Amino acid sequence: MTTRSCPCGLPGPYEKCCGRYLPRSRTRSAGGTPIGAAAAPTAESLMRSRYCAFVRQDAGYLLRTWHPRTRPARLDLDPGMRWTGLEVLDTTGGSAFHTTGTVTFRASYRGGSLYERSRFERVDGAWVYVDGDVLDA
């Protein structure tokens, strides 16, 4: 068994980094929550785990961690998209002591990059993605 580093760019294996937040199986609790997935404790950790979900083409996780008022009905991911790296540039708020936060990041993909400031809020105690502004490089 090989240990791969986490796609989010932090040191350490995926399983001990963002893999803690993405479900490890399709099994669900009686309430519909995937079993084996911990809640991301900060807005930045949620953003990093969502990046990993894009890398892994996990639309279900992306939709579950999207604010209900801004969440699309469905998400069609491009299977040809190859994400190649993440750089977190700035964070405001988003800790265990906040109810809102922002994360500014650059996500690279084959052929370009996305530079965005994302907004996050807590809903029922859990961090969720609200929306983001694409910034000029």
How confident is the model over 50-61, as pLDDT tens digits?
Answer: 999 999 999 999
Q: Is the pLDDT of residue 27 over 50?
A: no
Angle at 132 between CA 41 and CA 116, to 5 degrees: 95
Q: Residue holding tokens 């983001």?
A: 132
Distance (Å, whole) CA 117 – CA 47: 11
pLDDT tens column, 60-93: 999 999 999 999 999 999 999 999 999 999 999 9
Question: Among residues 56, 103, 105, which one has the least CA distance to residue 82?
Answer: 56
Closest CA to 51 of 2, 130, 114: 114
pTM here is: 0.88
pLDDT, residue 103, reads: 98
